[in-house]
Amino acid sequence: MARDFKTIGHEWGTLRNMAEVPAFIDSEATRLIQLADLVAYALFRKYERKDTQFSQIIDNKYDCFGGTRHGLHERI
């Protein structure tokens, strides 16, 4: 359906650029998706519930170069 939407178009014309294709994958399908779910859950608990029980496990896993943390953008 996404391919037809991009090539054939829609009622306002055709697409020139498509930013990304939505992918809905069951987390049981691959371990990498399970890992992404766990990281998202840890960050959700950190910022929404102010609970660092799970996020403290991954806090030191982000790249850090010259005192600057890379790989996580905190928008506060």
Predicted local distance difference test score (pLDDT) of residue 21:
58
Predicted local distance difference test score (pLDDT) of residue 19:
63
pLDDT-flagged residues of the chain (< 50): none
Predicted local distance difference test score (pLDDT) of residue 76:
65
Task: List the end-to-end C-alpha distance of the chain, in Å, as a whole number.
Answer: 37
Strand partners, 33: none
Predicted local distance difference test score (pLDDT) of residue 49:
93
Predicted local distance difference test score (pLDDT) of residue 45:
94
Write down the pTM of the prediction. Answer: 0.56
